[in-house]
Structure 1
Amino acid sequence: MSTSIASLPLWSATVAALVLLLSIDLVLTRRPHEVGMREALAWSAFYLALPLAFCAGLWAAFGATVAVEFLTGYVVEKSLSVDNLFVFMLVLAAFAVPAELARRVLLYGIIGALLLRVVFIMLGAAALRSGTWAFLLFGAILLVTAAKVMKDALTGRDREIDVCTLPAVRLVRRFVPVTPDYRGSKLLVRENGARTLTPLALAAVAIFAVDIVFAVDSVPAVYGVTQDPFLVFATNAFALLGLRALYFVLQGALTKLCHLNHGLSVILAFIGLKLILHWAHGIWPWVPEIPTLVSLGVIVAVLAVVTLTSLYANRR
C-alpha cells in the first residue's frame, strides 16, 4: 500500500476539475428534461473515459503500482455504488419525482455525498495515522457489513427502504414546511410569506442521508486497497460523478441483477480479510498479504460470476 502521492497542485487541479464538471452539470440541468437512453449512454461513456484517462496519467507520472491501486479502488467503489442505484430508484419512486427532475435531484444528492465522503476520508486517514489498529477496525466493519448484506440478500430485504423514517427527512419535515407539489427544479419557494421546501429538496436530503450508510462501508473498502487519501478521494469522486448517467442506463437492467448483493458481500468480506491480514503482517511478518493486483482480479471475477448467475436465474 502506498503513501500519499498528492502535492498541493495535484489536489488543487483535481478539485478544480471536479467543481468545473459539477458546475457544467448544474447549468445543463437548469432546464429539466427527461433523460433519453442515447444521452445517458453518451454521459456514461464520458464518465468512464475520465477515470481511465486519469489512471493512464497516474501510470505515466507515478508508475504502475499507483495506477493499479487507483483502478482497483475505482472498481470497488463503482461496484458498491451500483448498489446505491437500487436505493436511488426507491427514493425517487417514494417521492414520486417526475422523470424530467430525476437528473437534478440525483445531482443534488451526489454533491452532498461528495462533501460527506471528504469528511469520512479525512477521518479514515486520521485513524490510519494513529496506528495499525485502524486496519483491524476497518476490516471488522467490512466483515460485519458483508454478513449483513448477505443476510439481507438471502432473506430478500436488501432493497427495502422507507424514506419517511430516515432521521434526516423527519428532522427537515419537523422544522420546515413542505409544499404539497413540485415547483419545477426549485428546492425552496416562498409561500404565504414563509420560506417553504419543495418535495425535490426532501428527495435530495433522502439520497444524501442514504449515502451516509453507504459511506460507512465504501470508504473503508477503498482504504483496503490504498492508504493514500488522494487516491481514495479520486476513486469516490469518479464513481459518484458517473453514477447519475449510469442510473438512466441501468434503471431497467438493475432489477435483473438479482445476485448483485451476494457478490458485493463477498467483495466486502474479501477486502475486510485483506485489511486484517495487513494489520497482522505488521505484527507477525510471516502472515501473508494480498497483493493489489490479486485483489483486482478477485473483484472483477466476483462481479463477472454474479452477472452470469443473475442472467441464468432470470432465464429460468
Structure 2
Amino acid sequence: MLESIGSPLLWAATIAVLLVLLALDFAVTRRPHDVPMREAVGWTVFYLALPAVFGVFVWWAYGGTPAVEFFTGYVVEKSLSVDNLFVFMLLLASFAVPTALAQRVLLYGIVGALVLRGIFIAAGAAVIASGAWAFLLFGAVLLVTAVKVIRDALRGADHQVDIGRMRSVRLLRRLMPVTQEYHGSRLTVRIDGRRTLTPMALVVAAVFMTDVVFAVDSVPAVYGVTEDPYLVFATNAFALLGLRALYFVLRNVLARLRHLNYGLGVILAFIGVKLVLHWAHGVWDWVPEVPTPLSLGVILVTLATVTLTSVAANRRERAQEAVQPGPVAGELNNVERPMTLGGSRVRIPPEKKAR
C-alpha cells in the first residue's frame, strides 16, 4: 500500500473546510424556496471548480500520480452520485415533498452520505491493511453490483420506491405519530402537547437508508482507483458537496439519461476487474495491472458514450411521438405520468400524497 498524502494537518484543514461549506449550505437552505436555474448553476459551477483547484494543488504539492488518482476517483464518485439523484428524485416524488423544501431534504441526504462514507472508508482502510484479499472482496462486490445494474437496465424494470415497506419509515411510524402535512423544514412539531413527526422526518430517514446502500458500492469503487484513504475521502466529499445544486440543474435532464445505468454498470465491472487483477498481481507477478490513466480514459469514454446514445434514443422517441396521436386533452389528468430514470421506467400517480 502506498504512503498516504493525508498528513494530520491536511486532514484537519480538509474537514474544517468541509464543515464551513456544509454550514454555508444550511444557511442558504434555511429559508425554503424554489431554487431558480441561475442560483443552481452558480452553486454547481462553484462546486465543480473546487475539486479542479484541489486537484491542481495535489499535483503541485505531491506529484502527478496522486493527482491523477484524485481526478479519476472524483469522476467515478461523481458518476455514481448522479445515480443518487435518481433515487432522491423518486423519494421526493413519493413523499410529495414541496418544491421549496427539496433542497433541505437533499442537504440532509448529503450530510448523511458524508458520515456514512467516512465510516465505510475507515473500515475499508482497515480491511485493506489486513491483507491483499480485501481487493478480491471489493472486486467481487463491484462485479455483482455491475451485473445487477446492467440486468435491471436490460429488463427495463420499474424502479419504484415502496415507502410503506421501508423499515426506517415503518419503525418511525410505530414509535411516534406522523402529521398529514409538512410544517416547513421542521422534523417534529408539538400537537396537543404531544411531540409528533412530520413527513419531512420520514423522507429524511428514507434518504439516510438509501445512503447506506450507495456507500456500499461507492467506497469499494474508489478504492479500486486509489488505496490512499485521504484521497478516497476527498473524492467522496467533493462529489457529494455539489449534489444539492446539481439536482436542480439536472432535474429536467436526469430523466433523459436513459442509458446511464448501462454506463455505471460498465464502470463498476471495469473497476471490479481492476481490483481482481490487482489482487492476482500480488500472487502471480505475470498478471498485468490496469494503470490509473487508462482507468480514467475508460470511465470518460463510457460516460460520453452513454450520454450520446441517450440523446440519440430521445431524438428517435420524439420523432415517433410526432407521428403518433397523443391522449385526448380531457384524459391527461387521469393517466399516470411515466418517467425514464437511468434506463428504468418509473410511474408516479398524478395525485401522490404523503401519508
Task: State the alpha-carbon separation in 1 of the partners of residues 245 and 101 from structure 2.
Answer: 14
> Contact conserved, 1:158 with 1:261, CA < 8 A, in 2?
no
Paired residue type of 1:91: L
After TM superposition, the runs of 4+ consecutive aligned structure 1 residues lying more than 4 A away are: none
Task: State the alpha-carbon separation in 1 of the partners of residues 311 and 200 from structure 2.
Answer: 35
Report how far residue 158 of structure 1 moved. 6.5
TM-score norm. by structure 1 comes to 0.98
> Contact conserved, 2:122 with 2:229, CA < 8 A, in 1?
yes
Instruction: Quote the residue 2:221 is aligned against.
Output: 221
Task: State the alpha-carbon separation in 1 of the partners of residues 195 and 53 from structure 2.
Answer: 44
Task: State the alpha-carbon separation in 2 of the partners of residues 44 and 135 from structure 1.
Answer: 34
Alpha carbons of structure 1 residues 263 and 185: separation in structure 2 relative to 1, 3 Å: same
Task: State the alpha-carbon separation in 1 of the partners of residues 312 and 139 from structure 2.
Answer: 32
Task: State the alpha-carbon separation in 2 of the partners of residues 256 and 4 from structure 1.
Answer: 40
> Contact conserved, 1:2 with 1:66, CA < 8 A, in 2?
no
Instruction: Quote the residue 2:113 is aligned against.
Output: 113
CA offsets 1:71-114 (integer angstroms, 9 cap, x no match) = 00000000011011111110000110000000011111111111
Moved more, 151-160 or 190-199: 151-160
Task: State the alpha-carbon separation in 1 of the partners of residues 135 and 302 from structure 2.
Answer: 23
> Contact conserved, 1:86 with 1:159, CA < 8 A, in 2?
no
Instruction: Quote the residue 1:100 is aligned against.
Output: 100
Paired residue type of 1:190: R
Instruction: Quote the residue 2:8 is aligned against.
Output: 8
Task: State the alpha-carbon separation in 2 of the partners of residues 164 and 70 from structure 1.
Answer: 40
Report how far residue 2 of structure 1 moved. 3.5
Task: State the alpha-carbon separation in 1 of the partners of residues 159 and 252 from structure 2.
Answer: 15
Task: State the alpha-carbon separation in 1 of the partners of residues 113 and 31 from structure 2.
Answer: 23
Q: Kindly tell me the number of residue pairs found equivalent between the two proteins.
A: 316
CA offsets 1:250-289 (integer angstroms, 9 cap, x no match) = 1111111110000100000000000000000001011000
Instruction: Quote the residue 1:257 is aligned against.
Output: 257
Is 1:301 matched with 2:306? Answer: no
Instruction: Quote the residue 1:189 is aligned against.
Output: 189
Task: State the alpha-carbon separation in 1 of the partners of residues 63 and 171 from structure 2.
Answer: 48
> Contact conserved, 1:145 with 1:268, CA < 8 A, in 2?
yes
CA offsets 1:105-162 (integer angstroms, 9 cap, x no match) = 1111111111111111111111100100000000000000000000111112263322
Task: State the alpha-carbon separation in 1 of the partners of residues 232 and 168 from structure 2.
Answer: 26
Moved more, 287-296 or 191-200: 191-200
Instruction: Quote the residue 2:60 is aligned against.
Output: 60
Report how far residue 164 of structure 1 moved. 2.6
Task: State the alpha-carbon separation in 1 of the partners of residues 130 and 194 from structure 2.
Answer: 48
Secondary structure at 2:90 match in 1 = helix
Report how far residue 196 of structure 1 moved. 1.4
Task: State the alpha-carbon separation in 2 of the partners of residues 138 and 219 from structure 1.
Answer: 9
Instruction: Quote the residue 1:90 is aligned against.
Output: 90
Structure 2 gaps, min length 5:
317-355
Instruction: Quote the residue 1:74 is aligned against.
Output: 74
Paired residue type of 1:105: V
Instruction: Quote the residue 1:125 is aligned against.
Output: 125
CA offsets 1:280-316 (integer angstroms, 9 cap, x no match) = 0001011000000000000000000000001111111
Structure 1 gaps, min length 5:
none
Secondary structure at 1:195 match in 2 = strand
> Contact conserved, 1:37 with 1:248, CA < 8 A, in 2?
yes
Moved more, 303-312 or 157-166: 157-166
Alignment of 1:23-42 (within 5 A): 23-42=23-42
Instruction: Quote the residue 1:177 is aligned against.
Output: 177
Secondary structure at 1:252 match in 2 = coil
**CA RMSD across the alignment:** 1.0
Alignment of 1:207-246 (within 5 A): 207-246=207-246
Instruction: Quote the residue 1:198 is aligned against.
Output: 198
> Contact conserved, 2:94 with 2:161, CA < 8 A, in 1?
no
| Identity percentage of aligned residues | 67
